[in-house]
């Protein structure tokens, strides 16, 4: 057999029992004849506890020291996991991000992987050992300082190592059975997908599905690394994320991959912007300077009589205050009339590679929302996605109606909890 | 000014307030014009908690993984300390043992320092930053694995770094005011020494004084690095450990440096050993094979009638069971009559470089013990030390009587608690 990379999140190794359970699974993969590399996150609440300690000693801790602090979390979980595997009679060696050859840039707290040189991991595998690697961390190429990768960092570590080791598969273990056609907490009849393409998964992740982080899927697509998302609490097959054409005719050639939703955004409307060249640009420059990532942007057609226009956009709620401050500062310069802030919004997205070749999807989507009494605020589309902004209170209705309208409902109701991944 | 290395133990940085208090002291040293390097242990009970976790997942964790686990403790304390110093307006950078250039052998859990190459520390100092270094840890020269130095490791890290950086002084901060003439918990009139020589401190440490570990003092003596042991809770001068002749005539040229005691040993007597060449050697071979370090050894004169002798020795109580098993195994081979095990013993030692040139010290010591009703079990001497084994219940009486007999009592009673150092 080949090389298998497995990633376990913090909830899977939250305590000693969890560590022992995960060790058992790792040994199963080894006994099946694989070379096994394991990427692990910090145990349960460790990271939050460390952040809390940092806040007690400094209101604004330097990024370098914050990364030094937080990386202690994986050091603990990986060493314990290596011990637990050893206790089952198989040799395991733990490696920090630095030891595993995860080379990053110097952006503390959100470093990007620029190279992976896993010679020590390869040596451990060659000697028959299981390698346990700290997720979420690396070492900066220039300063040799310890870095952390930020959100989705452990998943990305796993995919990056899998690519560098030419692994057969990167298995991401989580607390749900795989990728579902909608959040089962909202749609009880949501179905687990057996397969989904990279591009569909990218759109799902970008639209609020929390099961995998965007950057991990991007990395996997770039290197063509198959990801198998599955539960660490069962042995069921999960969801395969690949670029292959699915072979299961009945389900996987469906037009629609799933319905995603996102409650983390807010909407800002700049009212009464003079419709002159450069005014809109000035607004977006100000937001860019404030380091704010915008999602959807809509500009109304200018009313001829007044020559004024409105510009609306969505952004992460966490950035709302910063954006409002930045815009207020340029109010006189740009000469707009007012700012409106609304954080009672949600985004609902319909995603499917099949919609490329099926006209009429948009019309069907909008009419089903109308039938459900859902008012559409903003719209944006890509080749394989349609997203609408609705009132937050109508998100559940919109998701349920859409899931049903596109025949995604399962006959059986799966009893799962749809949770997010941590790091 | 020059380079100052400061070491803070786990009790000094037990919580966020402790970290902030230590940060304040560090900044004081920096403001006084020094280049400051700080060595720090893990916070309070962190190490015990990590050991507890390890025991939950594996009864016999591999040394490599145990070291990986335990070194997370200093990573946390040093990052927090660097943040707290930064918050006071001074740049601080934390470094792991590996980053600090602490190169060791591969003996996990009790590694020995074989080289110190502190180029990153020197660079930080050259740029005006304060360097915060993880105590107790290093990296093995051969395998590049993380190692821990075992007991007294953080003190040794501090002295080793001080030597490599040609520091002016290595300050060891603890929770007592310095080195005392006896344990103040037993002798209320014990006095703090202003100065003590390396060799006296070595004997004190070897005889049970817990304030500094033997290996740290040995390292300091080898490199002639002055150690200043002092309290992190006050600004009083502590005890200087140097090889200089003391200048304070009144106190420091005293014949006796202090009275040490040790309750950690047990005594084994091998009864009725045939007094033939090689029999005693066979006994000590068996103990050596079992990796047991003996302390005092006494062989009685053979009784001519029987041609049998008794051999007694002391050893760490923790090794008692192992030693008894090893000896029982050779009972028939050697042909001794019986084994006696006694862990209700204590060792009291009188230490002073002055006793070299002062005859009669031994007689005075024994007569004061006799006057106090203390029965002497075993005796051993070095050039600057006399030790006796007594019943454990008589240790306090022996220490008090000796301290008084050699005029060590202070006029004032110091209100301190004499505690041990952790790592």
The reply to whether B403 falls in a domain is no
Lowest model confidence (mean pLDDT) among A160-164, A417-421, B82-86:
A417-421
B23, B50, B80 ranked by CB distance to A76: nearest: B50
Give the CATH number, domain containing residue B83. 3.40.1160.10
> Measured between alpha carbons, how far is A154 from A165 in angstroms, rounded to an integer?
16
Strand partners, A347: A262, A389
pLDDT of B114 reads 95
Q: Which of A54, A57, A58, A37 is nearest to A46 (CA)?
A: A54
Contacts of A23 in chain B (CB under 8 A): 57
Give the CATH number, domain containing residue A301. 3.30.70.260
- Shared domain for A140 and A20, answered yes or no, is yes
CB contact under 8 A, B53 and A99: no
B66, B75, B81 ranked by CB distance to A72: nearest: B75
B57, B78, B86 ranked by CB distance to A87: nearest: B57
> Measured between alpha carbons, how far is B204 from A211 in angstroms, rounded to an integer?
61
Contacts of B54 in chain A (CB under 8 A): 79-80, 83
Give mean pLDDT, residues A158-178.
Answer: 95
Strand partners, A169: A4
Q: B326: which residues sit within 8 A by CB, 6+ positions away? A: B286, B287, B289, B290, B292
List, in sequence order, every beta strand (DSSP E) within A101-192.
Answer: 102-104, 113-116, 130-134, 137-140, 146-148, 169-174
> Measured between alpha carbons, how far is A201 from A207 in angstroms, rounded to an integer?
10
Is residue B422 pLDDT above 60, yes or no?
no
- Shared domain for A296 and A147, answered yes or no, is no
Contacts of A58 in chain B (CB under 8 A): 83-84, 86-87
Query: In 3-state terms, chain A is what percent helix, strand and coil (to 5)?
Result: 35, 25, 40
> Measured between alpha carbons, how far is A138 from A148 in angstroms, rounded to an integer?
6
Q: Residues A354-359: contacts with CB within 8 Å, 24+ apart?
A: A354/A253, A354/A254, A354/A255, A354/A256, A354/A257, A355/A255, A355/A256, A355/A383, A355/A384, A355/A386, A356/A383, A356/A384, A358/A255
The reply to whether B133 falls in a domain is yes
Closest Cα in chain A, distance from residue B290 (Å): 25
- Shared domain for A17 and A165, answered yes or no, is yes
The reply to whether B48 falls in a domain is yes
For chain B, what is the domain count?
A: 1
Widest Cα–Cα separation across chain A: 81
Give mean pLDDT, residues A328-348.
Answer: 94
CB contact under 8 A, A82 and B65: yes
CB contact under 8 A, A71 and B75: yes
The reply to whether B420 falls in a domain is no
The reply to whether A409 falls in a domain is no
The chain-wide mean pLDDT, for chain B, equals 90
CB contact under 8 A, A69 and B75: yes
The reply to whether B76 falls in a domain is yes
What's CA A248's distance to the chain center, in Å? Answer: 26
Closest Cα in chain B, distance from residue A151 (Å): 21
Give mean pLDDT, residues A117-146.
Answer: 96
Chain B CA closest to residue A90: B62
Strand partners, B370: none
Q: Which of B155, B169, B164, B68 is nearest to B115 (CA)?
A: B164
pLDDT of A251 reads 45
Q: Which of A205, A277, A192 is nearest to A240 (CA)?
A: A192
Contacts of B68 in chain A (CB under 8 A): 75, 78-79, 82, 94
Mutation target for B interface from A79, A85, A145: give the one with most B CBs within 10 A.
A79
B16, B59, B144 ranked by CB distance to A56: nearest: B16
Residue B415: which pLDDT band, with cuts at 50, 70 and 90? Answer: very low
The reply to whether B299 falls in a domain is no
CB contact under 8 A, A65 and B54: no
Closest Cα in chain B, distance from residue A215 (Å): 28
> Measured between alpha carbons, how far is A286 from A324 in angstroms, rounded to an integer?
10
pLDDT (tens digit per residue) in A201-239: 999 998 988 889 889 999 999 999 999 999 998 999 999
**What range defines the domain where residue A104 resides?**
3-175
Give burial (CB, 10 Å; 0-12/13-18/19+) of A236.
exposed
- The domain boundary residue, chosen from A114, A148, A175: A175
Mutation target for A interface from B76, B84, B88: give the one with most A CBs within 10 A.
B76
List, in sequence order, every beta strand (DSSP E) within B169-264.
Answer: 169-174, 195-197, 227-231, 239-242, 258-262
**Residue pairs spanning A and B at CB distance below 8 A:** 118
List C-alpha distances in Å: B310 to A18, A137, B271, B284, B339: 55, 61, 5, 14, 10
pLDDT of B411 reads 65
A58, A60, A94 ranked by CB distance to B68: nearest: A94
The reply to whether A182 falls in a domain is no
Query: 404-423 in B: which are within 8 Å (CB) of A?
Result: none
Contacts of B93 in chain A (CB under 8 A): 64-65
pLDDT (tens digit per residue) in B357-388: 787 888 899 999 999 999 998 898 888 999 99
pLDDT of B419 reads 37
Query: 53-72 in A: which are within 8 Å (CB) of B?
Result: 53-54, 56-62, 64-66, 68-69, 71-72
Q: Is B14 on the interface with A (CB under 8 A)?
A: no
State the pTM of this model.
0.84
- Shared domain for A67 and A170, answered yes or no, is yes
Q: What percent of chain B lies above the pLDDT cut of 70?
A: 93
């Amino acid at each position: 057999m080949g090389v298998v990379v497995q990633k376990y999140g913090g909830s899977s190794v939250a305590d000693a029992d969890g560590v022992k359970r995960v060790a058992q699974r790792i040994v199963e993969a080894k006994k099946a004849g694989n070379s096994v590399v394991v990427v692990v996150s910090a145990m349960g609440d460790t990271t939050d506890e460390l952040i809390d300690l940092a806040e007690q000693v400094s209101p604004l801790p330097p990024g370098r020291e914050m990364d030094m602090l937080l990386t202690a979390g994986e050091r603990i979980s990986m060493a314990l996991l290596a011990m637990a595997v050893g206790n089952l009679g198989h040799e395991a060696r733990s490696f920090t991000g630095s030891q595993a050859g995860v080379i990053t840039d110097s952006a503390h707290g959100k470093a990007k992987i620029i190279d992976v040189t896993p010679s020590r991991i390869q040596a451990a595998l060659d000697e028959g050992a299981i390698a346990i690697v700290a997720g979420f961390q690396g070492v900066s190429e220039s300063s040799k300082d310890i870095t952390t990768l930020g959100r989705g960092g452990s998943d990305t570590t796993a995919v990056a190592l899998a690519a560098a080791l030419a692994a057969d598969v990167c298995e991401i273990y989580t607390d749900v059975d795989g990728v579902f056609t909608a959040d089962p907490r909202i749609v009880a009849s949501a179905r687990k997908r057996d397969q989904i393409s990279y591009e569909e998964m990218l759109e799902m992740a970008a639209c609020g599905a929390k099961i995998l982080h965007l950057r991990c899927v991007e990395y996997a697509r770039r290197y063509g690394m198959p990801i198998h998302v599955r539960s660490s609490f069962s042995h069921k097959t999960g969801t395969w994320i690949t670029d292959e054409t699915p072979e299961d005719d009945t389900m996987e050639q469906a037009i629609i991959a799933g319905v995603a939703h996102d409650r983390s955004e807010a909407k800002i409307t700049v009212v009464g912007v003079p419709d002159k060249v450069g005014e809109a640009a000035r607004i977006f420059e100000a937001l860019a300077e404030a380091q704010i990532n915008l999602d959807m942007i809509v500009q109304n057609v200018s009313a001829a009589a007044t020559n004024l226009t409105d510009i609306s956009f969505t952004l992460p709620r966490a950035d709302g205050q910063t954006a409002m401050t930045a815009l207020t500062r340029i109010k006189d310069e740009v000469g707009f009339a007012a700012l409106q802030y609304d954080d009672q919004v949600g985004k609902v997205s319909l995603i499917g590679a099949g919609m490329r070749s099926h006209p009429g999807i948009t019309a069907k989507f909008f009419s089903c929302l109308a039938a459900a009494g859902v008012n559409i605020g903003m719209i944006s589309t890509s080749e394989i996605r349609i997203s609408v902004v609705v009132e937050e209170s109508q998100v559940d209705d919109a998701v349920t109606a859409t899931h049903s309208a596109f025949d995604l409902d399962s006959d059986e109701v799966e009893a799962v909890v749809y949770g997010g991944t941590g790091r």
